[in-house]
Amino acid sequence: MAAVIRSYVSLMDRLAEFIGAFAKYLIYLMIGVLLFDVVSDKAFGFVQNWTVETAQFTLAAFYFLAGPKTLKDDSHVRLDLIYANLSDRAKAWIDMITIWIVTFYLSVMLWGSISSLQYSWATNQRLPSLWAPSLVPIKVLMTICLVLMILQCFAIFFKDLARARGKVVA
Protein backbone atom coordinates (compact mmCIF):
# COMPACT_ATOMS: atom_id res chain seq x y z
CA MET A 1 0.00 0.00 0.00
CA ALA A 2 1.10 3.54 -0.62
CA ALA A 3 2.12 5.57 2.41
CA VAL A 4 -0.97 7.78 2.19
CA ILE A 5 -3.30 4.79 2.12
CA ARG A 6 -1.43 3.12 5.00
CA SER A 7 -1.76 6.32 7.00
CA TYR A 8 -5.47 6.53 6.20
CA VAL A 9 -6.06 2.91 7.23
CA SER A 10 -4.07 3.40 10.42
CA LEU A 11 -5.96 6.60 11.27
CA MET A 12 -9.34 4.97 10.70
CA ASP A 13 -8.40 1.92 12.76
CA ARG A 14 -7.17 4.08 15.65
CA LEU A 15 -10.31 6.21 15.45
CA ALA A 16 -12.52 3.11 15.48
CA GLU A 17 -10.62 1.79 18.51
CA PHE A 18 -10.98 5.09 20.36
CA ILE A 19 -14.70 5.42 19.60
CA GLY A 20 -15.29 1.78 20.52
CA ALA A 21 -13.46 2.25 23.84
CA PHE A 22 -15.67 5.26 24.59
CA ALA A 23 -18.87 3.50 23.50
CA LYS A 24 -18.48 0.59 25.90
CA TYR A 25 -18.84 2.96 28.85
CA LEU A 26 -22.25 4.08 27.63
CA ILE A 27 -23.67 0.78 28.85
CA TYR A 28 -22.64 1.73 32.39
CA LEU A 29 -24.29 5.12 31.95
CA MET A 30 -27.49 3.42 30.80
CA ILE A 31 -27.40 1.02 33.76
CA GLY A 32 -26.86 3.96 36.11
CA VAL A 33 -29.81 5.87 34.67
CA LEU A 34 -32.10 2.84 34.93
CA LEU A 35 -30.88 2.08 38.45
CA PHE A 36 -31.58 5.67 39.44
CA ASP A 37 -35.08 5.30 37.99
CA VAL A 38 -35.81 2.15 39.97
CA VAL A 39 -34.39 3.48 43.24
CA SER A 40 -36.13 6.85 42.97
CA ASP A 41 -39.45 5.15 42.16
CA LYS A 42 -39.42 2.16 44.51
CA ALA A 43 -37.46 3.57 47.45
CA PHE A 44 -38.58 7.19 47.43
CA GLY A 45 -41.79 7.18 45.38
CA PHE A 46 -40.51 9.75 42.86
CA VAL A 47 -41.36 8.77 39.31
CA GLN A 48 -38.91 10.19 36.78
CA ASN A 49 -40.23 11.01 33.31
CA TRP A 50 -36.82 11.29 31.63
CA THR A 51 -34.98 8.12 32.59
CA VAL A 52 -36.43 5.60 30.12
CA GLU A 53 -35.92 7.91 27.14
CA THR A 54 -32.40 8.74 28.32
CA ALA A 55 -31.64 5.02 28.54
CA GLN A 56 -33.06 4.50 25.05
CA PHE A 57 -30.95 7.34 23.62
CA THR A 58 -27.87 5.98 25.40
CA LEU A 59 -28.43 2.52 23.95
CA ALA A 60 -28.94 4.00 20.48
CA ALA A 61 -25.71 5.99 20.86
CA PHE A 62 -23.94 2.79 21.92
CA TYR A 63 -25.12 0.95 18.80
CA PHE A 64 -24.18 3.83 16.50
CA LEU A 65 -20.75 4.33 18.04
CA ALA A 66 -20.00 0.59 18.05
CA GLY A 67 -20.47 0.38 14.26
CA PRO A 68 -16.99 1.45 13.10
CA LYS A 69 -15.28 -0.79 15.69
CA THR A 70 -17.45 -3.75 14.73
CA LEU A 71 -16.48 -3.28 11.09
CA LYS A 72 -12.80 -2.84 11.94
CA ASP A 73 -12.66 -5.98 14.07
CA ASP A 74 -14.72 -8.01 11.57
CA SER A 75 -16.95 -9.04 14.47
CA HIS A 76 -20.24 -8.70 12.65
CA VAL A 77 -22.49 -11.62 11.77
CA ARG A 78 -21.44 -13.61 8.71
CA LEU A 79 -22.69 -16.84 7.14
CA ASP A 80 -19.54 -18.95 6.76
CA LEU A 81 -20.72 -22.03 4.89
CA ILE A 82 -18.43 -21.52 1.91
CA TYR A 83 -16.36 -18.54 3.05
CA ALA A 84 -14.67 -20.40 5.93
CA ASN A 85 -13.14 -22.95 3.55
CA LEU A 86 -11.56 -20.39 1.21
CA SER A 87 -7.94 -19.28 1.19
CA ASP A 88 -7.00 -15.96 2.73
CA ARG A 89 -6.60 -14.36 -0.72
CA ALA A 90 -9.98 -15.68 -1.93
CA LYS A 91 -11.61 -14.31 1.22
CA ALA A 92 -9.97 -10.96 0.51
CA TRP A 93 -11.42 -10.90 -3.02
CA ILE A 94 -14.91 -11.71 -1.73
CA ASP A 95 -14.55 -9.10 1.02
CA MET A 96 -13.44 -6.51 -1.56
CA ILE A 97 -16.73 -7.04 -3.39
CA THR A 98 -19.03 -7.28 -0.39
CA ILE A 99 -17.60 -4.18 1.30
CA TRP A 100 -18.97 -2.12 -1.60
CA ILE A 101 -22.42 -3.63 -0.98
CA VAL A 102 -22.11 -2.60 2.67
CA THR A 103 -20.90 0.85 1.61
CA PHE A 104 -23.90 1.25 -0.71
CA TYR A 105 -26.27 0.22 2.08
CA LEU A 106 -24.63 2.62 4.54
CA SER A 107 -24.75 5.40 1.91
CA VAL A 108 -28.50 4.93 1.50
CA MET A 109 -28.85 5.03 5.28
CA LEU A 110 -26.71 8.18 5.37
CA TRP A 111 -28.91 9.80 2.76
CA GLY A 112 -31.97 8.98 4.87
CA SER A 113 -30.32 10.13 8.08
CA ILE A 114 -29.37 13.49 6.55
CA SER A 115 -32.94 13.95 5.36
CA SER A 116 -34.27 12.98 8.78
CA LEU A 117 -31.79 15.29 10.51
CA GLN A 118 -32.78 18.21 8.27
CA TYR A 119 -36.45 17.61 9.09
CA SER A 120 -35.76 17.34 12.83
CA TRP A 121 -33.66 20.49 12.75
CA ALA A 122 -36.21 22.51 10.75
CA THR A 123 -39.21 21.44 12.84
CA ASN A 124 -37.47 21.16 16.23
CA GLN A 125 -38.77 17.59 16.35
CA ARG A 126 -39.28 16.19 19.83
CA LEU A 127 -40.48 12.90 21.24
CA PRO A 128 -44.17 13.00 22.12
CA SER A 129 -43.76 12.42 25.86
CA LEU A 130 -43.86 14.36 29.12
CA TRP A 131 -40.15 15.06 28.92
CA ALA A 132 -40.24 15.76 25.16
CA PRO A 133 -36.50 15.59 24.40
CA SER A 134 -35.21 16.90 21.10
CA LEU A 135 -34.33 14.27 18.50
CA VAL A 136 -31.67 16.46 16.87
CA PRO A 137 -28.70 15.29 19.02
CA ILE A 138 -29.27 11.57 18.42
CA LYS A 139 -29.83 12.16 14.71
CA VAL A 140 -26.59 14.16 14.50
CA LEU A 141 -24.78 11.29 16.19
CA MET A 142 -26.41 8.78 13.84
CA THR A 143 -25.30 10.77 10.79
CA ILE A 144 -21.73 11.18 12.05
CA CYS A 145 -21.46 7.47 12.85
CA LEU A 146 -22.73 6.48 9.41
CA VAL A 147 -20.02 8.67 7.86
CA LEU A 148 -17.44 7.01 10.12
CA MET A 149 -18.68 3.57 9.11
CA ILE A 150 -18.40 4.44 5.42
CA LEU A 151 -14.86 5.73 5.97
CA GLN A 152 -14.06 2.50 7.83
CA CYS A 153 -15.41 0.54 4.84
CA PHE A 154 -12.87 2.30 2.61
CA ALA A 155 -10.10 1.32 5.05
CA ILE A 156 -11.34 -2.28 5.00
CA PHE A 157 -11.30 -2.25 1.20
CA PHE A 158 -7.66 -1.12 1.17
CA LYS A 159 -6.72 -3.83 3.68
CA ASP A 160 -8.52 -6.47 1.60
CA LEU A 161 -6.82 -5.21 -1.56
CA ALA A 162 -3.44 -5.66 0.11
CA ARG A 163 -4.39 -9.15 1.32
CA ALA A 164 -5.61 -10.10 -2.16
CA ARG A 165 -2.20 -9.10 -3.51
CA GLY A 166 -0.53 -11.30 -0.91
CA LYS A 167 0.71 -8.44 1.27
CA VAL A 168 0.75 -8.64 5.04
CA VAL A 169 -1.74 -6.26 6.64
CA ALA A 170 -1.20 -5.19 10.23
Closest CA to 17 of 148, 168, 150: 148
Give the start-to-end residue ranges of the domains of the chain. Answer: 3-164
Residue 55 CB contacts under 8 Å (≥ 6 apart), including other chains = 30, 33, 34, 37
pLDDT at position 160 is 94
CB 106 within 8 A of CB 147: no
Residue 38 CB contacts under 8 Å (≥ 6 apart), including other chains = none
pLDDT at position 130 is 87
- Classify 45 in phi/psi space as left (phi over 0), alpha (psi -120 to 50) or beta: left
Q: How far is CA 167 from CA 2, 3, 87, in A?
A: 12, 14, 14
The amino acid that residue 81 corresponds to is L
pLDDT at position 170 is 60
What confidence tens digit (pLDDT) does each residue in 90-138 have?
A: 999 999 999 999 999 999 999 999 999 999 999 999 999 888 999 999 9
Write a three-state SS string for 78-89. Answer: CCCCCHHHCCHH
What confidence tens digit (pLDDT) does each residue in 21-35 have?
A: 999 999 999 999 999
Residue 78 has pLDDT above 80, yes or no: no
Q: Which residues pair with 126 in a beta bridge?
A: 134
Determine the Cα–Cα distance for residues 145 and 33; give it in Å rounded to an integer: 23
